[in-house]
Amino acid sequence: MLPLLIGSQDVVTYMLIMLNVMFFIIIFIYYILKIERRKVKYATFIKGTWRRQGTGHDGSQWHISYTFTDKTFEINAVPDLYITGKYKIIKEIEQLLIIQLFDVTGTTEDLPKSLQIGVDHISNQLTIDHRVYKRTK
């Protein structure tokens, strides 16, 4: 509590100064937290080629690979699938990246507008559409 010797005009001045200090502290904290949210931890990790392969019921070999560069992606699969386009990471939640796909060309009937990519940097693999892909390059 302020001593009684301070006039009412001084009390108002001190209160305004304290309110300004609190306002700037809150703005500073908000700015720091906003910068922290912008950092995408695994953006560079997904760059490269990721592949999943196997054998069909008839014994034929198949594979599907995703290639991510700085802002573009390519999906190549045997048999007959080739898709290219651009992507943007719109959200990162722990080890899950949500990316938006746009300017897509190729066979795109079943391709969603966004992908959820699980990142396992210890095993050096990605999970895309609930399937595991291993790094090739």
What CATH number corresponds to the domain at position 87?
2.40.128
Cα 15 to Cα 43, 98, 100, distances in angstroms: 46, 46, 48
Residues 34 and 90 in one domain: no
pLDDT value at position 99? 94
| pLDDT tens-digit series, residues 66-111 | 999 999 999 999 888 899 999 999 988 889 999 999 999 987 677 7
β-pairing, 125-128 vs 131-135, is antiparallel
What is the domain range of residue 78?
48-135
Residues 65 and 35 in one domain: no
Give the gyration radius of the chain's Cα atoms: 26
Residues 54 and 112 in one domain: yes
pLDDT value at position 35? 60
Residues 66 and 99 in one domain: yes
Count up the domains in the chain and report the number.
2
Residues 12 and 54 in one domain: no
- Cα separation, 104 vs 102, in Å, equals 5
Residues 86 and 118 in one domain: yes
pTM of the model: 0.69
| pLDDT tens-digit series, residues 48-73 | 999 999 998 898 899 999 999 999 99
Residues 28 and 55 in one domain: no
Residues 16 and 72 in one domain: no
Largest CA distance in the chain: 95
SS3 9: helix
Residues 59 and 103 in one domain: yes
What's the pLDDT band for 39 if we cut at 50, 70, 90? Answer: low
Residues 89 and 126 in one domain: yes
Q: Give the DSSP per-residue string, 67-103.
A: EE-SSEEEEEEETTEEEEEEEEEEEEETTEEEEEEEE
At position 126, the amino acid (one-letter code) is: L
